[in-house]
Structure 1
Amino acid sequence: MTTYFNEQDSIQTRLGKDNKQTLKVLADRYIGANPPVPFAFRAFSRGGVLQNVKGMFDLDLGRRFPEAKPGQFSYAYALVWSDGERNLDVLFNCLGPIQFYFNDELMYRSTVIDEIKPDATVKLNLDFVKGWNRLFIKAKHTAAGFGCLFGSDEAKVRILNVLAPFTERLGHAGWVFSSPIDHDIFEGRSLPDAMSSEKNNGLRWLPNREWDENELSLPNCERLFGRQPGKQAFAWTQLNNLRPGREACLIKGYAAGALTVWLEGKLVLDHTEEGNFHIEVPLTYGQHNLLIRSVCGNNPWGFALEASIGEEVVPLRLPKQVHGVADPWLYVGPLAANVSLSYEDFVQTDRVYTLDVNAEEKAYWRLDCPDTWIRPYYENAMLSNKWTVGNVTNYARWDYPLGVTIYGLLQTGRLLERADITQYALDHVQSCTDMFGYSLWDREQYGFPAINQQLVMMKMLDNCGSFGSAMLEAYQEDEDQGFMAIANRIANFIFHGLERKEDGAFYRICQDEYSENTMWADDLYMSTPFLCRYARITGVSEALDEAAKQFLLFRKYLYMPEERIMSHVFDFKYGIPTGIPWGRGNGWTLFSLTEVLEALPAAHEARPALVDFFNELCGGYADLQAESGLWHQVLNDTDAYEEASCTAMFAYSFARGVRFGWLREPQRFIEAALKAWDGLTRIAIDAQGNVHGVCSGSRYAFTADYYKKDLLTVKNDNHGVGIMMLAGSEVVKLNQWLADPLEVAQ
């Protein structure tokens, strides 16, 4: 029997058979360890280093400096913050000679082969330390090229956010890079101190962060948007009143053109001409939104404004925390006169603004700095080769393991009648969906999105199906129409964008990637539960038909009839299945089949075959259950360790099969489900609600050794926490059903 901790530390030792309390501990531990920390907003220069569609930072210095001479040097510099020790694979495409320094140590010097083959990729493995990590690139110009492309491997999953060095740019996102110089000034010398002034080394660092004197002499809207007769711009700040009580506040300033002012939604000034203005308004303690509308005529346009109570200045502050900026104003524009929006439409950061109702171009909030916008970043988990890092919140992330986690939280909250748990799950979903429109705009502007990376850069079922299914499950709690816009996009991808074999089976083309031309059992969960929920909500029966069809097709390729279990992968490059029955791959299969059977009408033509398939699989899995109650990482290999996530999936599926009447030998599977849950609460769930024994995210192999020896377990891995809650919820329901059996119509 595999041991993850002393049984005295198990949840069962502390709570016995109190399954609802066990679920409470699981859910509360997860929520406590994953606080609702939203996206971080930072200043970002559009004139800086952007990413391409693969997430590689485009440091093509030859394009930026076409006047550069052969033999000249430029430097690129960035910081990465890591809250712990992390390991990450990074990639280079060299456009010319480069040297890469990581934390001041030379990690890579390009070879002549690297330099003359710009499509060649070099992979390095970096060990990030806790705290600041420094990335420094020396690039030398040759006739062949100048600079490189750099980024993390699988960038939409392994998220690498970089910040600017130097005190003047503290908090800014993005790289800095220097204008070309004739000699390498850091040859034999220390690299520049990232926490010092950028002026200390005599280089001109870009992107430019300051206006010149002529630009500073212009009114703010003229400086930001240029002359735009008839157009309008909006500016947003907050009055930060630190005085207690309620007092009269004087707001005064100068308007270069027509100006409208709202304070907390109330119109307090409508100034139609150029000139000075002043108004007196009552102001209480705290922060108060101040929104300005400036209209451009035929002259320079903009405004200046200050507020005071008596002789004391009321400071202005940004209405949203934005790192890397001191100015208290956000601006958006120029909007055409035909764009008419309410005050409420503007005092938010989760939308983009149409510049003209007759055009598609959109805008977002920017800063009073050259070519600089605010930009939200996902900065929580995932600076790692691992799916799960133990001390970083997963909140606000869209990815497939968290889809199961959200589903588990929703079901647990409902079962325990804990509205706070279901609300937390809903809030996590909405933290992603509310910013979906923005994230599409972000990709268009910057090449690669800083949030919702997998949803926006949708390429495979992993990117959309699992979390999309959880989103539609959350739709029961709040019929958010934003959910359906995203669901329609996912459905369109599955029906019209996803790769299929000639018989219609889903598979992965993934050209030039490790999973090229393969079919994975995992993809049944990444597709069919979403299709079932989509069919239920929209009435599109073709989605349910597709889910049933895929099960029968996957059975043809992956089913191992002698043992009645599934191969993890079919590799079309070799024309054969791998023949390795990975535990969680089989768990995904059975888990998903219960979702399809629950949704499928009794008269559906595929139902008899799928019920038969369900019974065959359950019989095969039950034969392989270990004495401990768990299943092995490789199901038919007793030398493999006992793994928790597949065990939870089998317990969940067996319990549902009994309750819904699909299983022809119910007593056998009642015993197997309860035995599995007993094993999990003794062996895999400790008294603090930590989940052990869950293998990390997988690739695939034709050998069992990969799954047994390379795919090791990770404490509280996201692939296991949600399904543990789902399994526990189903065991509670099974026990309730056994006490008062109900006939379930087929």
Structure 2
Amino acid sequence: MKFPTPRRALTGLLVAGLFPVAMSASAQDAPPPQEKGPAAADAMLHALDVKYPAPYRAMDAAEVKAVLDRVFTYLDRTTPAELINKTSGAAVTDLSRADPEAVLKPGDFRLTSYEWGVTYLGMLAAGSATGDQRYAGYVSKRHQLLSQLTRAYLPAVQADPAGSAAPIKSFLNPHALDDAGALCHSFMKAKLAGSKVDYGQMIGICGDFVTKKEYRLKDGTLARGGPDGKGGVKMRPLQNTLWLDDMFMGVPTMAYLGKTTGDRKHYDDAVRQVQQFSKRMFNPKLGIYMHGYVEGMRDHPEFHWARANGWAVMSMVEVLEVLPKDHKGYQAVLEQLRAHIRGLAAYQAKEGFWHQLIDRSDTYQETSATAIYAYAIARAVNRGYVEPEMYGPMANLAWNAVASKVLPNGQIEGICVGTGMAFDPAFYAYRPTSVKAAHGYGPALLAGAEIIEMNRKYKFGLNDSGLMFQGGRQ
């Protein structure tokens, strides 16, 4: 038996030390236990149960639907699709003529607000995700009522915009994007989904307002603070003001008009709006948007209000849903969406929520914005815009946080009430919350629906105690 020379042995040891993998295929295996016998008291501490404030897992479809059903039951009960006489309270059943005494039967929420445009979108999404026809039926019943009222009352409103009466006058004679944009979006989405409601007149009214009548800056950006019709200027709060909210109130409507009419000029307008809002209002260092911008000012009130950022990210996922991939602006919108989602991800709180002012953790955690982010991020995962490994867990965490705010009776807590733009942090930080704030119900429905779709497409589970992507489902 020959033994290696001392020099060769030394060389072998050095090579093995420098290149351990090359020397042994098992070099990366875990070392054997150093002790045998009973485990030490600290051996499994990493696997202890954790008391998370909301479930730390991916909810299954039945669990999500149970939450959505509570919301549905509450909304169906408290938003009647009926007319009554405003004096006697008696039911008005003849919808073929304009009755100046008729009003919508009061409920908890208005059927023609922009918030309810979002709620109709949420109902459509929930119906699609769950297969429960009650959700689409909710939309169809109320859209049908609005269509009938439009036929009956539009001639009178057009003949006398100031003096005429109509149960849905704010829609028939819109004065702001809030009156028209989100409703128009819901009409076109329902139509594309196969609804039999006659949307012709209604899409004509709201589509024409969004694309031709809403005030714009000189470069065509949707704006507020234009002429008031009396020789002055609408000061809300100042002349030539951009509100980030309007990225949602008008831009998806433009994109869907492109889809429903085939006229690509609407796609062009939608892309231009995303780019021009973003150029003025997106902070690339933070990855989030400011709420308000005033043309002509050197400095702007850079407050990163959560729900406004929600309207922006939601606008982009809705535009991408119908924007042709061969459109010259498609990639720009996609990259802006990715930049925004990446920025938002950095601010999610440990409980799953985002704060009222996103980058100020001393403000309260807000439900409607968190719901919108859960929806938009899950939609981006489902469409392949962002990676499920990175963003699926945070979308699930956000949904679980939102679900924790849905009460047994279907009302939702922690929703910021309506909010204008302001120039100081106190205004945003102290805005009240209310279960009667309509802004959170549509986003909650959208979020739950998209989470069902995401968790149906991908599997998320615990790996070494962390919620992680575990591949696609067969």
Does TM, scored on the shorter chain, surpass 0.5? yes
Choose which of 121, 124, 139 in structure 2 pairs with 1:410: 124
- Aligned residue in 2 for 1:213: none
Once the two structures are TM-superposed, the CA of residue 379 in structure 1 deviates from its matched residue by: 4.7
1:465-480 counterparts in 2 under 5 A? 465-475=181-191, 476-480=193-197
The answer to whether the aligner puts 1:426 opposite 2:140 as a matched pair is yes
- Aligned residue in 1 for 2:462: none
CA 671–27 in structure 1, closer or farther in 2 if over 3 Å, else same:
same
State the alpha-carbon separation in 2 of the partners of residues 374 and 522 from structure 1.
Answer: 33
State the alpha-carbon separation in 2 of the partners of residues 534 and 480 from structure 1.
Answer: 17
- Aligned residue in 1 for 2:393: 671
CA 448–11 in structure 1, closer or farther in 2 if over 3 Å, else same:
farther
The answer to whether the aligner puts 1:40 opposite 2:84 as a matched pair is yes
Choose which of 70, 95, 101 in structure 2 pairs with 1:375: 101
Secondary structure of residue in 2 paired with 1:377: strand
Secondary structure of residue in 1 paired with 2:101: strand
Choose which of 399, 404, 407 in structure 1 pairs with 2:113: 399
Aligned length: 399
Once the two structures are TM-superposed, the CA of residue 448 in structure 1 deviates from its matched residue by: 4.1
State the alpha-carbon separation in 2 of the partners of residues 501 and 473 from structure 1.
Answer: 28
State the alpha-carbon separation in 1 of the partners of residues 418 and 91 from structure 2.
Answer: 35
**One-letter amino acid matched to 1:514:** R
Once the two structures are TM-superposed, the CA of residue 466 in structure 1 deviates from its matched residue by: 0.4
State the alpha-carbon separation in 2 of the partners of residues 742 and 504 from structure 1.
Answer: 45
1:65-464 counterparts in 2 under 5 A? 171=88, 321=91, 349-352=94-97, 375-380=101-106, 392-394=107-109, 397-443=111-157, 444=159, 447-464=163-180
Choose which of 68, 77, 88 in structure 2 pairs with 1:23: 68
- Aligned residue in 2 for 1:628: 351
Once the two structures are TM-superposed, the CA of residue 393 in structure 1 deviates from its matched residue by: 3.8
- Aligned residue in 2 for 1:662: 385
In the TM superposition, what whole-angstrom CA distance separates every residue of 1:510-545 from its partner, at most 9, and x where no partner exists? Answer: 424333421111111111222222222221222122
By relative contact order (CA 8 Å, sep 6+), the higher-ranking structure is 2
CA 26–321 in structure 1, closer or farther in 2 if over 3 Å, else same:
closer
Choose which of 450, 454, 457 in structure 2 pairs with 1:734: 454
State the alpha-carbon separation in 1 of the partners of residues 59 and 105 from structure 2.
Answer: 39
CA 430–706 in structure 1, closer or farther in 2 if over 3 Å, else same:
same
Choose which of 689, 713, 716 in structure 1 pairs with 2:410: 689
Once the two structures are TM-superposed, the CA of residue 681 in structure 1 deviates from its matched residue by: 2.1
Once the two structures are TM-superposed, the CA of residue 496 in structure 1 deviates from its matched residue by: 2.1
Secondary structure of residue in 1 paired with 2:184: helix
State the alpha-carbon separation in 1 of the partners of residues 360 and 169 from structure 2.
Answer: 37
CA 564–376 in structure 1, closer or farther in 2 if over 3 Å, else same:
same
**One-letter amino acid matched to 2:200:** M
CA 513–430 in structure 1, closer or farther in 2 if over 3 Å, else same:
farther
Secondary structure of residue in 1 paired with 2:102: strand
- Aligned residue in 1 for 2:432: 712
| Partners of 1:11 and 1:688 within 8 A in 2 | no
Choose which of 402, 424, 441 in structure 2 pairs with 1:703: 424
| Partners of 2:188 and 2:256 within 8 A in 1 | yes
Once the two structures are TM-superposed, the CA of residue 498 in structure 1 deviates from its matched residue by: 1.9
| Partners of 1:468 and 1:487 within 8 A in 2 | yes
- Aligned residue in 1 for 2:210: 494
Once the two structures are TM-superposed, the CA of residue 321 in structure 1 deviates from its matched residue by: 4.5
State the alpha-carbon separation in 2 of the partners of residues 492 and 32 from structure 1.
Answer: 33
Once the two structures are TM-superposed, the CA of residue 16 in structure 1 deviates from its matched residue by: 6.8
Once the two structures are TM-superposed, the CA of residue 576 in structure 1 deviates from its matched residue by: 4.1
State the alpha-carbon separation in 2 of the partners of residues 580 and 602 from structure 1.
Answer: 33
- Aligned residue in 1 for 2:466: none
Choose which of 499, 504, 508 in structure 1 pairs with 2:220: 504
State the alpha-carbon separation in 2 of the partners of residues 597 and 672 from structure 1.
Answer: 22
> Whose radius of gyration is greater, 1 or 2?
1
- Aligned residue in 1 for 2:243: 520
State the alpha-carbon separation in 2 of the partners of residues 655 and 39 from structure 1.
Answer: 38
CA 374–653 in structure 1, closer or farther in 2 if over 3 Å, else same:
closer
In the TM superposition, what whole-angstrom CA distance separates every residue of 1:166-202 from its partner, at most 9, and x where no partner exists? Answer: xxxxx49xxxxxxxxxxxxxxxxxxxxxxxxxxxxxx
State the alpha-carbon separation in 2 of the partners of residues 432 and 675 from structure 1.
Answer: 37
Secondary structure of residue in 2 paired with 1:602: coil
Once the two structures are TM-superposed, the CA of residue 643 in structure 1 deviates from its matched residue by: 0.2
Secondary structure of residue in 2 paired with 1:435: helix
**One-letter amino acid matched to 2:103:** Y
State the alpha-carbon separation in 1 of the partners of residues 441 and 112 from structure 2.
Answer: 16
Query: Greater helix percent: which structure?
Result: 2
In the TM superposition, what whole-angstrom CA distance separates every residue of 1:635-672 from its partner, at most 9, and x where no partner exists? Answer: 01000000011111111111111111112x43221121
Once the two structures are TM-superposed, the CA of residue 742 in structure 1 deviates from its matched residue by: 8.8
State the alpha-carbon separation in 1 of the partners of residues 297 and 286 from structure 2.
Answer: 22
Once the two structures are TM-superposed, the CA of residue 400 in structure 1 deviates from its matched residue by: 0.2
Q: Which structure 2 residue ranges, 5 or more long, are not aligned?
A: 1-50, 227-232, 460-470
| Partners of 2:314 and 2:376 within 8 A in 1 | yes
State the alpha-carbon separation in 1 of the partners of residues 393 and 347 from structure 2.
Answer: 14
**One-letter amino acid matched to 2:267:** L
| Partners of 2:352 and 2:401 within 8 A in 1 | yes
State the alpha-carbon separation in 1 of the partners of residues 300 and 339 from structure 2.
Answer: 19
State the alpha-carbon separation in 1 of the partners of residues 96 and 235 from structure 2.
Answer: 35
In the TM superposition, what whole-angstrom CA distance separates every residue of 1:88-116 from its partner, at most 9, and x where no partner exists? Answer: xxxxxxxxxxxxxxxxxxxxxxxxxxxxx
| Partners of 1:449 and 1:456 within 8 A in 2 | no
State the alpha-carbon separation in 2 of the partners of residues 544 and 575 from structure 1.
Answer: 31
**One-letter amino acid matched to 1:350:** L
After TM superposition, the structure 1 stretch with the greater mean CA deviation from structure 2, 27-36 or 556-565, is 27-36
State the alpha-carbon separation in 1 of the partners of residues 369 and 135 from structure 2.
Answer: 24
| Partners of 1:12 and 1:681 within 8 A in 2 | no
| Partners of 1:518 and 1:573 within 8 A in 2 | no
Q: Normalising by the residue count of structure 1, what TM-score does the alignment of the two structures yield?
A: 0.51
| Partners of 1:499 and 1:508 within 8 A in 2 | yes
**One-letter amino acid matched to 2:85:** F
CA 35–27 in structure 1, closer or farther in 2 if over 3 Å, else same:
same
State the alpha-carbon separation in 1 of the partners of residues 328 and 451 from structure 2.
Answer: 30
CA 546–16 in structure 1, closer or farther in 2 if over 3 Å, else same:
closer
Percent identity, please.
Answer: 24
Once the two structures are TM-superposed, the CA of residue 573 in structure 1 deviates from its matched residue by: 5.9
| Partners of 1:40 and 1:376 within 8 A in 2 | yes
Choose which of 547, 565, 568 in structure 1 pairs with 2:291: 568
Secondary structure of residue in 2 paired with 1:525: helix
In the TM superposition, what whole-angstrom CA distance separates every residue of 1:676-726 from its partner, at most 9, and x where no partner exists? Answer: 1122223x22233321111001111011210111x1111142100111011
| Partners of 1:582 and 1:635 within 8 A in 2 | yes
Secondary structure of residue in 2 paired with 1:687: coil
Q: Normalising by the residue count of structure 2, what TM-score does the alignment of the two structures yield?
A: 0.78
| Partners of 1:11 and 1:686 within 8 A in 2 | no
CA RMSD of aligned residues (A): 2.6
Secondary structure of residue in 1 paired with 2:255: helix
State the alpha-carbon separation in 1 of the partners of residues 302 and 375 from structure 2.
Answer: 25
Once the two structures are TM-superposed, the CA of residue 732 in structure 1 deviates from its matched residue by: 0.8
In the TM superposition, what whole-angstrom CA distance separates every residue of 1:258-294 from its partner, at most 9, and x where no partner exists? Answer: xxxxxxxxxxxxxxxxxxxxxxxxxxxxxxxxxxxxx
Once the two structures are TM-superposed, the CA of residue 733 in structure 1 deviates from its matched residue by: 0.5
Q: Which structure 1 residue ranges, 5 or more long, are not aligned?
A: 1-7, 43-162, 164-170, 173-319, 323-347, 353-363, 365-372, 381-391
Query: Greater strand percent: which structure?
Result: 1
